[in-house]
Amino acid sequence: MIYKRSSALFAEAEKVIPGGVNSPVRAFKGVGGTPVFVKEAKGAYLYDEDGNRLVDYINSWGPMILGHAFEPVVNAVVEKAKKGTSFGMPTEIETQIAELAVSMVPNIDKIRFVNSGTEACMSAVRLARGYTGKDKIIKFAGCYHGHSDSFLIQAGSGASTFGSPNSPGVTKGTAKDTLLARYNDIENVKALIEGNKNEIACIIIEPVAGNMGCIPPKSGFLEAIRSLCDTHNILLVFDEVMTGFRLAKGGCQELFNVKADIVCFGKVIGGGLPVGAFAARNEIMNHLAPLGPVYQAGTLSGNPLAMAAGLAMLTELNSHAEVFIRLEEKTAYLHEGIAKVLNDNNITHTINRVGSMISVHFDEAEVVDFDTAAKGNNDTFKKFFHGMLDSGVYIAPSAFETWFITDALSYEDLDFTIAAVNKVSKFL
Ligand code: KE4
């Protein structure tokens, strides 16, 4: 594949944007080489600036669950834009998408829209602290909840790629209130609670981790955390920025039948426009300004364009819940196909999958937490990434990420991908 124009565009971008990108993981630091610049996208395909067609397994890191430039979303945004893009005043469409989201997701009465997953998680933690009157939080090593200070303590995703567990700029004062637990290790969570009695406002978790590759919760893990939260008066925050409206209509609360106290959303809920949200039952959400004392705000929060995209997306998913079954079937087919060709080529690997989230790890050990995810052979991953890219398949440019399956993928696309893995495997 030729990346001449992407390389030229990257050189220009680097002069005026730090690292040439507006989000670090896009810079290919985890895999080397220069990033591919995309010109446009439709359905399951990206078309880069050099005219290459790429089968897309990132889908903007999750939002494009129904494919790029999905007609109902595009049409909704175009029509809404003609009537004004933002007012800073309440609009009916905010209520419409809020009512729909509340009807789709269990255990929430109210939802507040913001502009990113980071904002959603940051606000959820502030709300938990304000509601409980306690300062500390527990997060899990390798989980990523956005780039708010409280979370950049051994975060996943790009922060892991950079191997910078604690980002400079995060004060010691902030870091001391974030306790770090090991994913899938309930004894470790218990020990942290015992050691910080009556000081913990919430436990925030990715119910299916997606920022150290895809890591499912071990059987009973989420239920055990729920029980500890009930015993110790701690709020359970499900960060469903990735899993919300992807793994089930009602997200992981529905999938695992575990009740969260606050749920955070992003990605799919915005249909590709900047939308985050956090939601809870009335007794918690009524602590939020202007009703209650916990402050949170945003100029563009609930703006009509983003709401139009999100409403069109959620409406589609709500009225065609069979999409979730198709996504599961397509991802299982891909999983089986990739596993077969990697085994046929004697490539040491393990594959984690939940619903339409999947990740390939080049290590034989089971990947259950950040430490085991970090054991993957990154040199092999880099060769794999570039081999797949040169074969016309775009996967996550980091071993600490998840592939996101879109319903726009056909079985021909999946076979094309499996054949690419087979070809690439011979050079790993
Ligand atoms: P944003 O602020 O990037 O919209 O959302 C932060 C966030 C919160 N919670 C979870 C579980 C997330 O996965 C994310 C963001 N995901 C990364 C991909 N691993 C975004 C990609 C990027 O940083 O460019």
Residues contacting residue 114 through CB under 8 Å, at least 6 positions apart: 120, 123, 275, 276, 277, 278, 296, 298, 301
- Cα 401 to ligand 1 centre (Å): 10
Residue after which a domain boundary falls, among 299, 319, 339: 319
267 is catalytic: yes
Whole-angstrom distance, CA of residue 384 vs CA of residue 255: 32
The pLDDT score that the predictor gives to residue 158 is 64
Which neighbouring-strand residues pair with 357? 354, 404
120 and 191 inside one domain: yes
- Residue in 69, 65, 45 with CA at minimum distance from that of residue 412: 45
Domain count, the chain: 2
For residue 45, what are the domain limits? Answer: 4-69+321-425
344 is catalytic: no
What share of the chain in percent tops pLDDT 70?
97
- Residue in 219, 189, 227 with CA at minimum distance from that of residue 354: 219
Whole-angstrom distance, CA of residue 96 vs CA of residue 310: 10
- Cα 140 to ligand 1 centre (Å): 15
88 and 206 inside one domain: yes
The CATH number assigned to the domain holding 104 equals 3.40.640.10
Cα of first residue to Cα of last residue in the chain, in angstroms, is 19
- For 139, phi then psi, to 5°, come to -125, 170
Nearest CA to ligand 1 atom 15: 146
Task: Give the relative orientation of helices 322-344 and 304-319 as an angle to the nearest 10 degrees.
Answer: 80
406-422 confidence digits (pLDDT tens): 999 999 999 999 999 99
Task: Write out residues with Cβ below 6 Å of ligand 1.
Answer: 23, 25, 61, 116-118, 121, 144-146, 157-158, 206, 210-211, 239, 241-242, 266, 276, 401
- Cα 28 to ligand 1 centre (Å): 16
The pLDDT score that the predictor gives to residue 155 is 65
Residue after which a domain boundary falls, among 263, 287, 319: 319
pLDDT surpasses 50 at 164: no
Nearest CA to ligand 1 atom 13: 242
- Cα 150 to ligand 1 centre (Å): 15
pLDDT surpasses 60 at 356: yes
Q: Which residues of 296-314 are buried (b: 16+ CB within 10 A; e: fewer)?
A: bebeebbbbbbbbbbbbbb
- Residue in 49, 33, 59 with CA at minimum distance from that of residue 405: 59
**For ligand 1, mutation pick of 28, 29, 57, 61 (most atoms within 8 Å of CB):** 61
Tell me what the mean pLDDT of segment 320-324 comes to. Answer: 96
The pLDDT score that the predictor gives to residue 156 is 65
- Cα 116 to ligand 1 centre (Å): 8
DSSP per-residue string spanning 271-287: TTSS-EEEEE-HHHHTT
Tell me what the mean pLDDT of segment 32-37 comes to. Answer: 96
The pLDDT score that the predictor gives to residue 171 is 84
The pLDDT score that the predictor gives to residue 153 is 81
Residue after which a domain boundary falls, among 294, 319, 344: 319
For the record, the structure tokens of 358 come out as: 């999947």
158 and 294 inside one domain: yes
The pLDDT score that the predictor gives to residue 126 is 98
What is the residue whose two structure tokens read 């359905």? Answer: 43
30 and 79 inside one domain: no
**Mean predicted lDDT score pLDDT of the chain:** 95
Residue 117 Cα: closest atom of ligand 1: 5
Pairing of strands 276-280, 357-361: unpaired
60 and 94 inside one domain: no
Which one is catalytic: 3, 57, 144, 394?
A: 144
Residue 402 Cα: closest atom of ligand 1: 19
Instruction: DSSP letter for 419, please.
Output: H
Kindly indicate the confidence band of residue 163, based on its pLDDT and cuts at 50, 70 and 90.
very low
Residue 143 Cα: closest atom of ligand 1: 11
For the record, the structure tokens of 360 come out as: 């390939």
Tell me what the mean pLDDT of segment 349-370 comes to. Answer: 96
95 and 239 inside one domain: yes
Tell me what the mean pLDDT of segment 235-260 comes to. Answer: 98
Kindly indicate the confidence band of residue 282, based on its pLDDT and cuts at 50, 70 and 90.
very high
**For ligand 1, mutation pick of 241, 245, 275, 400 (most atoms within 8 Å of CB):** 241
355 and 221 inside one domain: no
Helices (H), 86-234: 92-104, 117-132, 157-161, 172-175, 186-195, 221-232
Residues contacting residue 18 through CB under 8 Å, at least 6 positions apart: none
127 and 222 inside one domain: yes
Nearest CA to ligand 1 atom 1: 117
Nearest CA to ligand 1 atom 5: 117
Tell me what the mean pLDDT of segment 301-313 comes to. Answer: 98
Which one is catalytic: 136, 267, 382, 383?
A: 267
What share of the chain in percent tops pLDDT 90?
92
- Cα 26 to ligand 1 centre (Å): 12
239 is catalytic: yes
**For ligand 1, mutation pick of 29, 118, 150 (most atoms within 8 Å of CB):** 118
340 and 350 inside one domain: yes
222 and 331 inside one domain: no
The CATH number assigned to the domain holding 14 equals 3.90.1150.10
Which neighbouring-strand residues pair with 127? none
The pLDDT score that the predictor gives to residue 35 is 96
- Cα 117 to ligand 1 centre (Å): 6
111-140 confidence digits (pLDDT tens): 999 999 999 999 999 999 999 999 999 999
**Which 3 state secondary structure label does DSSP give 321?**
coil
155 and 294 inside one domain: yes
378 and 268 inside one domain: no
259-274 confidence digits (pLDDT tens): 999 999 999 999 999 9
pLDDT surpasses 90 at 227: yes
Instruction: DSSP letter for 86, please.
Output: -
Length of the chain: 428
- Cα 157 to ligand 1 centre (Å): 8
pLDDT surpasses 90 at 34: yes
